Amino acid sequence: MRFLSTRGTAPPLGFADAFASGLAPDGGLYVPESLPDVRPLLDGGAAAYPELAAGFLKNFDTDHTGEQVDDLAAASYAGFPDPDDAAPLVQLDDNTFVLELFHGPTLAFKDFGLQLVGNLFADQIARTGEPINVLGATSGDTGSAAIHGLADKAGARVFILYPQGRISELQERQMTCSGADNIYPVAIEGSFDDAQRIVKELFGDLEFKAAARLSAVNSINLARVLAQSVYYLHAVNRLPGDKRTAPRFVVPTGNFGNVLAGWLASRMGMPAGGFVVATNRNDLLQRLFTSGRYQPGTVAPSLAPSMDIQVASNFERFLFYHLGADGARTAEIMGRVAAGETVDVPDFDTGAFAATRTDDDGILRNIADTWGRYGYLADPHTACGFGSIDPATPTVVLATAHPAKFPDTIEKATGERPTHPTLEALKSATPQNVTLPATAGAVRDYLETNILTA
Ligand SMILES: *Cc1c(COP(=O)(O)O)cnc(C)c1O
C-alpha cells in the first residue's frame, strides 16, 4: 500500500517511509491510497486483540512480512494487563457501553498509538542500524505515552520537554519515574508554548536535525491513527449481536485523532450509526461540526486538560476526503487556516457526525450522574461524552483515561477517590530529570551531550 499526502504534491511513500517522515514534505499528512474492506475482520470477537490489530495493519503495512506485523502487534499490547482484550467493552445498561482505552502502561488511550510507534521505531533502528533521538514537547499525556512506548528500546533516546510546575505531579512522575536509562525528561522554565517553540526551532534547523538524528512523535503520525482504528473494530466485535448493526460512537476529542480513526474504519466497511464529537469548553470541533466553520479560539484550561486544544491537526485528513481527495483544494484551505483565517468548509454537511460541548460544571455533573446511574466512574475526558447518551440507541462511549489519573475532580463530583496500583507505585519511585531555561540554545547544548549518534 502507498500513502499520499493530503496536499497532493509530495511523492507517495510506502508505509515505513510515511511512518518515518511524519509530516509530508509539502506540509500535508499521509493517507492511504485506497481504503481496504475490513468486514472480514468483523468476526464477532473470535480474534484476540493483537491478532485483530495485525489483521488490520497488514492491509496498510506491506513493507513488513505478515509474520513481522504479527510480531509488531504482539509486542504493542504486551504491556497491557490482558493483551487479548486490550480494550474491554463494559456494558452499563441495555444500550450503553463503555470502551475502556485506559489499560495501557500510562492509563490513557494514547498508549494504543504510541506503543506501536515505539515498536516501529525499534524495527527501523534494527533495520537501518542507525540510532534515533526522539524530541517532543508535552503538556501531559503524549509525553508519557511516548516515553513508555520507547523505554529501554536499544538505539533510541527520548527527550521530552514539559513546562516546569504546570503539569500535575502525577503526570510529571509518569515521565520522570520510567526507570529507563534512555529517557530524558526535561522541565523547561516556561510554558508549554515555550517548550513547543523550542522543539519547532530545533526541528527547523535542518542541519542540526539531521546531525542529531532527531525524530518526532507527533499526533499526526499515520501509525497512530491506524492503530486507533483497531479498537473500534474490537468494540463492534464485542457488542451483543443485536447491537452491532449501527452503534453510535461517542468520542472525547482534542485534535480529532481519535474520532478520525473511527470514521476511517467506518469508511472501510465497519458498521457505525454515527460519531459524536465530544469537546470540553475548548469547543473548536463542536462548533466546526455544527456550523461547518473552522474558527480557532484561545485555549482555556479545563478539568479535561488533554483536550485543551484549539488546533485540530487531524482534521486535515477528514477535509481531504470530504473534498473528494483533492490535494490542491485541501492545501488551499489549510493554508487559510494556518494564516489564522476563519474558514467555512465547502459543501459542509454534518453527515456521520454530531457534536457536543461540556464545560467544567457539566463535566462534574456528568461524572456524578454516571456514578449515580450506573455506579461507573468516568474520568473528566470521558465525562464530556456522557451528556449526549440516547438510551434508545446502541452507544459506545470511548473512555480515554483512567479515573485515578484525576482523583481530585472525581472526588469533588462523587466523594469517591479512585486509585490505581501503577499510580500508587509512582509515589515512592525516584524521579530523574533536568531543568533547563526556556531557550533553544540551552536545549540544543543538552541534546548535543546526550544524544546517540552511532
Ligand atoms: C489526547 C487525549 C484526548 C484527545 O484525543 P485526540 O486524539 O486529540 O482527539 C482525550 N482524552 C485523553 C485522556 C487524552 O489523553
| C-alpha cell read off for 356 | 457536543
The kind and range of the H/E element at 90 are strand 89-91
Q: Give the pLDDT of residue 368.
A: 98
pLDDT bracket for residue 217 (50, 70, 90)? confident
Q: Mean pLDDT, to the nearest integer, of 341-362? A: 94
pLDDT bracket for residue 433 (50, 70, 90)? very high
Decide which of 193 and 272 is more confident: 272
No. of H helices and E strands in the chain? 18, 15
Q: Is the CB of 144 under 6 A from ligand 1?
A: no
Does some domain include residue 101?
A: yes
Q: Is the CB of 160 under 6 A from ligand 1?
A: no
Residue where the block lists cell 505515552: 145
The amino acid present at 30, given as its one-letter code, is: Y
Does some domain include residue 405?
A: yes
Q: Give the pLDDT of residue 45.
A: 86
> Which residues share a beta bridge with 279?
357
**What is the DSSP code string of 201-253?**
HHHH-HHHHHHTTEE---TT-HHHHHHHHHHHHHHHHHS-GGG-SS-EEEEE-
Q: Please state the pTM of the whole predicted model.
A: 0.96
- Cα–Cα nearest to 373, from 17, 4, 93: 93
Does some domain include residue 381?
A: yes
Q: Is the CB of 381 under 6 A from ligand 1?
A: yes
Does some domain include residue 10?
A: no
The residue contributing the CA closest to ligand 1 atom 11 is: 400
Domain harbouring 255, CATH code: 3.40.50.1100
Non-local (6+) Cβ contacts of 397 within 8 A are: 96, 97, 98, 99, 250, 378, 382, 385, 386, 389
Does some domain include residue 68?
A: no
The pLDDT tens digits for 58-95 are 999 999 999 999 999 999 999 999 999 999 999 999 99
Q: Is the CB of 174 under 6 A from ligand 1?
A: no
**Cβ neighbourhood burial of 44 (10 Å; 0-12, 13-18, 19+):** exposed
Does some domain include residue 289?
A: yes
Q: Are 1 and 32 in contact (CB under 8 A)?
A: yes
- Buried (b) or exposed (e) across 185-199, using 16+ Cβ within 10 A? bbbbebebebbbbbb
Q: Give the pLDDT of residue 332.
A: 97
pLDDT bracket for residue 297 (50, 70, 90)? confident
The pLDDT tens digits for 360-403 are 999 999 999 999 999 999 999 999 999 989 999 999 999 999 99
Taking the C-alpha atoms of residue 245 and residue 339, their distance in angstroms, rounded to an integer, is 42
| C-alpha cell read off for 203 | 526541528
Q: Which atom of ligand 1 is nearest to the CA of 379?
A: 13
| Start-to-end Cα distance in the chain | 31
Does some domain include residue 358?
A: yes
Q: Is the CB of 108 under 6 A from ligand 1?
A: yes
Q: Is the CB of 254 under 6 A from ligand 1?
A: yes
Q: Are 308 and 279 in contact (CB under 8 A)?
A: no
| C-alpha cell read off for 432 | 530523574
The residue contributing the CA closest to ligand 1 atom 4 is: 254
* Substitution site in 288, 381, 398 for ligand 1 pocket (most atoms within 8 Å of beta carbon): 381
Q: Are 35 and 27 in contact (CB under 8 A)?
A: no
For the chain, what is the domain count?
A: 1
Taking 90 as the threshold, does the pLDDT of residue 357 lie above it?
A: yes
* Substitution site in 110, 299, 356 for ligand 1 pocket (most atoms within 8 Å of beta carbon): 110
Query: Parallel, antiparallel, or unpaired: how do β-strands 3-5 and 30-32 relate?
Result: antiparallel
Residue where the block lists cell 518515518: 20
Give me Rg for the CA atoms of the chain.
Answer: 21
Q: Give the pLDDT of residue 249.
A: 98
Ligand 1 centroid–CA 51 distance in Å is 25
Which active-site residues does the annotation give?
A: 110
Q: Is the CB of 343 under 6 A from ligand 1?
A: no
Ligand 1 centroid–CA 454 distance in Å is 35
**What is the DSSP code string of 402-419?**
-GGGSHHHHHHHHS----
Q: Which domain holds residue 311?
A: 86-108+223-423
pLDDT bracket for residue 168 (50, 70, 90)? confident
Does some domain include residue 281?
A: yes
Query: Parallel, antiparallel, or unpaired: how do β-strands 248-252 and 30-32 relate?
Result: unpaired
